[in-house]
Amino acid sequence: MSDTDRARSAAGSSRERAPVIDTRGLTKRFRGGQLAVDRLDLSVPAGSVFGFLGPNGSGKTTTIRMLMGLIEPTSGTARVLGSPMPRAARTVLPKVGALIEGPALYGFLSGRDNLLRYDSADPTADPRTRRARVSAALDRVGLTPAGSKKARAYSLGMKQRLGLAAALLQPRELLVLDEPTNGLDPQGMREIRSLVRELAAEGTTVFLSSHLLDEIEQVCTHVAVMARGRLLTQGPVAELSTGVRGRLVVTTVDTGDAARVLKECGVVDLEVGEGRVSGVPAAPGTGDADLADLNAALVHAGVRVTGFGAQRASLEDAFVALTGEGFDVAG
């Protein structure tokens, strides 16, 4: 069984447990009238890897700041680990590791010394085992070779890793990560995804905010979708795209003729590329018989088909279906 499967199994067995994060009507309106978060009802199951998905500016970071007690909500309530926030921040936050809006680092200190400073500020941390904890955290995020390097010389991706190491100095019931792969190269992104899976397999609930659809789809068991401060949907990742039409992909040298035939057969959102045509069958839940009819129509029209199949609906397809617009990953 893979780490992701174990995490999903753990998430399934935790359905009877109280949500790790639970909000009711959570709202934040800033001075000047900007409504950043609008009546948010969010429920994060224990043991899940919960993706908090939305374009930049959709209210994700504001929500996280309210959950962590950094700002007061305008109205509504938030409970984290069963306790009200921000009122219970002193008892809740020692059980939570967080990386929000990038780490705050002392540039003149090495990465290792930054972590020693973070650990010494934790009243629950045993000073006798401090250096061992710091070494283990550096190793876990792949920063041991750069541990003695000054933080001001770190790249953005290295700073993200160091911030994550700080969040992992102590065992946590909940890990809150705001855009954790920001600034990382593809290899670094894969390593962070692997680390998140490991943490979930060990029983830590991970709340991961991102604007990257692919990142959420690869690592998360549950997801909530935000847009313009409002919650559009939430639930298991596998269920989000249920009922959403996948794309039909036809490989052919006769792309123009294929597009014409598919359009006549009711296929919409056609995209023509080099050697392929894709689109969405007009009827929801198109079955094998319908696909067979489309293939037959192409062959009957003399289109030379070398590849034909339907891709399952992705998170991006689900987002488009929910909002009627594309997902702007650049914010």
Out of 1-5, 182-186, 284-288, the most confident range is 182-186
Question: Which top CATH class is 248-312?
Answer: alpha beta
Which residue in 70, 72, 68, 60 sits closest to 36, CA to CA? 60
Q: What is the pLDDT of residues 128-167, one digit of tens each?
A: 999 999 999 999 888 999 999 999 999 888 898 899 899 9
Name which of 203-212, 269-278, 284-293 the model is least confident about: 284-293
- Rounded mean pLDDT of 196-208? 91
What's the gap between Cα 144 and its chain centre? 27
State how far the Cα of 259 lies from the Cα of 271, in Å rounded to an integer. 8
State how far the Cα of 199 lies from the Cα of 203, in Å rounded to an integer. 7
State how far the Cα of 163 lies from the Cα of 217, in Å rounded to an integer. 23
Q: What is the pLDDT of residues 50-73, one digit of tens each?
A: 999 888 788 999 999 999 999 999
How much is the pLDDT for 15?
43
271 pLDDT exceeds 50?
yes
CATH placement of domain 3-240: 3.40.50.300
CB-based contact 183:157 (threshold 8 Å):
yes
Cite the beta strand spans of 141-246 per DSSP E.
174-178, 205-210, 222-227, 230-236
Q: Structural domain boundaries of the chain? A: 3-240, 248-312
State how far the Cα of 148 lies from the Cα of 113, in Å rounded to an integer. 8
State how far the Cα of 13 lies from the Cα of 3, in Å rounded to an integer. 15
- pTM value? 0.73
Peptide bond connecting 86 to the previous residue in cis, omega within 30 degrees of 0: yes
